[in-house]
Amino acid sequence: MSASSQARARDFILNETQFHLGFLPTEQSNPVTRELDKKFASSRVEGVANLQQVDRNVLEMAQKVLKSPQFAKLAEEGLATLKRKGKIVFSGCGATGRLSILLEGMWREAAAAYEPLAPFADQVFSIMTGGDFALVRSVEFFEDYLEFGREQLRMLGIGKNDMIVAITEGGETSSVLGTLEEAVDRGAKGFLLFNNPAELLAEHIERSARAIRDERVTVLDLSCGPMGLAGSTRMQATSSEQLIAGAALEHIAAALMGTPVPDTAAEFGRLLDELEAPASRQAMADYIDFEAGVYRKHGRITYFADDCLLDIFTDTTERSPTFMLPPFRPADDTTSPVPWAFVKNPLFTTKEVWERNMRRPLRCLEWTREDYERLGASERIQNAPPHIGAADLLKIAVGNEPSPERYATGNDAAVLVETGVAANRKELEAGFAARAAHFSTAKRLFIGCGKGDFTVACTIPDSPLRLIRHMAVKLVLNNISTGTMVVLGRVTGNWMSWVDCTNKKLMDRGARLVAEIGGLSYEESCERLFEALEIIAATTPPGAEKQSAVQYVLARLGGKR
């Protein structure tokens, strides 16, 4: 082990204990899915059913929280904020940051469709740690900086007429807590949503305790136990937060329109029933085999969509750090690995796609070296500021521009994802047919009441925010993407054993994975991981897919992978 990697490991072990999170339920292995890899090996349908068991915990949580005084206060304060011309700001990082952007997009779409909501269209905002660029590609290490969150909050000019809804799956994400602290310091109303027991967080993590015990903050504890895939908070944690935050917006919309409030818990329960039906499980199982088969032949999947594009971004972007897959790359990048999965709209250019889906200007970060120095960033970030501005996001060709690398292998597939509610369905299908002609295979994945090559049948109730439609897409894609990676051997038991250690929380998770699977102490696991990261960085050729540090260590140990 080099002196530098040993020093970094010791520093993490001794001085970063606030990021040692193995005691949190969201970071632990769920006993229900402990043999997830074996279930999928035995039967794809059995594997899907096993994953779905854990989604039932979200319903149980929602039935309680939606009746709580804290939820009532969230909806009531949201309505009052809009009426006094204030801003509702959703803030998150990673999966919850993408959720925050989705919630803003849902509101803006509803305001464009319903006249009573139109005057309030530009009063719901989102903060994504790392800016809008992080919607399509994770921005490394940003979540570790409380001051980064504060700065992004300041950029929105939040004041006493506004409110913030900070969403952090584990309840401990520094950048998100930074936005909350800055907002309430400025007089805004503060709400905090998370998925671990509040007292457990407050007892062990100082930054969480400050927020939870702050009298200016209303806390909504959405605890629903360990994830179906251990530590993957993009699963049930983010699902529960999407359900509760989305329900609050549905309540606000109903009040402004003078219509009945949807029974969100009952509707979500019906959705789970329908997704658990034998035909729906079989459709997901069949699709998992299809997508895994494409990857086995070194082919690529390109999802095409319009109305549910933001939902698909949320899932596909998360696959990169969760399963060590190549992230989205700019169109002018010909050296980085080509992403296994990508997302495109067949009808509009990239610029038009963002205008159409965001319904507001891009909110990217154009920070300079001086900004990072002022905000206390590490020398690594100061010396090489990330390219995450609007121009960088527009280089990722998610529109109808030709992308020949997506169909270059001869084993590539185009997949149209539909929910049956798009007003431009005929144009969408025609646009897809034209683009799909370049691919060796074209399939349709239908989620809702309709028919495709793979049909996951479920009822989509009508409501201004179309919350249940978004929940359906999320749950189906969670099951499909997770199941595909299990089938391809990137999950051990129910652990994401190919995780990319790109921040302190993931570094801790990687160390715990090595300790559990490889039979080492936590301290030795940290040392071996930092050594592996240094070796991989020095030996990975340009254009090659990056190796998992966890897998590197386990291979050298000769342990189970």
Q: How far apart are CA 320 and CA 501, in angstroms?
A: 11
Q: What is the mean pLDDT of residues 247-260?
A: 98
Burial 105-139 (b: 16+ CB within 10 A, else e): bbbbbbbeeeeebeebeebbbbbbbbbbbbbbbbb
In a domain, 207, yes or no: yes
What local confidence, expressed as pLDDT, does residue 422 receive? 76
Which of 433, 460, 487 terminates a domain? The answer is 487
In a domain, 43, yes or no: no
Q: Same domain, yes or no, for 258 and 271?
A: no
Q: Same domain, yes or no, for 163 and 251?
A: yes
Q: Same domain, yes or no, for 223 and 287?
A: no
In a domain, 374, yes or no: no
Q: What is the mean pLDDT of residues 347-360?
A: 97
Q: Same domain, yes or no, for 256 and 289?
A: no
Over residues 94-132, the pLDDT tens digits come to 999 999 999 999 999 999 999 999 999 999 999 999 999
Q: Same domain, yes or no, for 15 and 96?
A: no
Over residues 435-483, the pLDDT tens digits come to 999 999 999 999 999 999 999 999 999 999 999 999 999 999 999 999 9
> Cβ distance 492 to 560 under 8 Å?
yes
Which of 206, 236, 262 terminates a domain? The answer is 262
In a domain, 90, yes or no: yes
Q: Same domain, yes or no, for 429 and 526?
A: no
Query: Which has the closest alpha carbon to 305: 469, 144, 188?
Result: 469
Q: Same domain, yes or no, for 110 and 253?
A: yes
Query: Which has the closest alpha carbon to 51: 444, 481, 418?
Result: 481
Range of the domain at 394: 267-368+387-487
Q: Same domain, yes or no, for 213 and 341?
A: no
In a domain, 561, yes or no: no
Q: Same domain, yes or no, for 250 and 312?
A: no
Mapped onto helix, strand or coil, the DSSP state of residue 457 is strand
In a domain, 49, yes or no: no
In a domain, 446, yes or no: yes
Q: Same domain, yes or no, for 154 and 280?
A: no
> Cβ distance 206 to 227 under 8 Å?
no
Q: How far apart are CA 464 and CA 253, in angstroms?
A: 7
What local confidence, expressed as pLDDT, does residue 542 receive? 83
> Cβ distance 345 to 432 under 8 Å?
no
Number of domains in the chain: 3
In a domain, 347, yes or no: yes
Q: Same domain, yes or no, for 118 and 218?
A: yes
Q: Same domain, yes or no, for 208 and 120?
A: yes
Domain with 317 in it: what CATH number? 3.40.50.10490
Query: Which has the closest alpha carbon to 144: 175, 178, 98?
Result: 175
Which of 441, 459, 487 terminates a domain? The answer is 487
Over residues 200-221, the pLDDT tens digits come to 999 999 999 999 999 999 999 9
Average pLDDT of the chain, as a whole number = 95
Strand 413-418: give its sheet, edge to edge.
341-344, 301-304, 413-418, 441-448, 454-457
Q: What is the mean pLDDT of residues 358-377?
A: 97
Query: Which has the closest alpha carbon to 174: 202, 152, 195, 146?
Result: 146
Measured CA to CA in angstroms, residue 417 lies from 102, 270, 310, 345, 414 at distances of 17, 22, 12, 10, 10
Over residues 261-316, the pLDDT tens digits come to 999 999 999 999 999 999 999 999 999 999 999 999 999 999 999 989 999 999 99
- Two structure tokens written together for 473: 């897409």
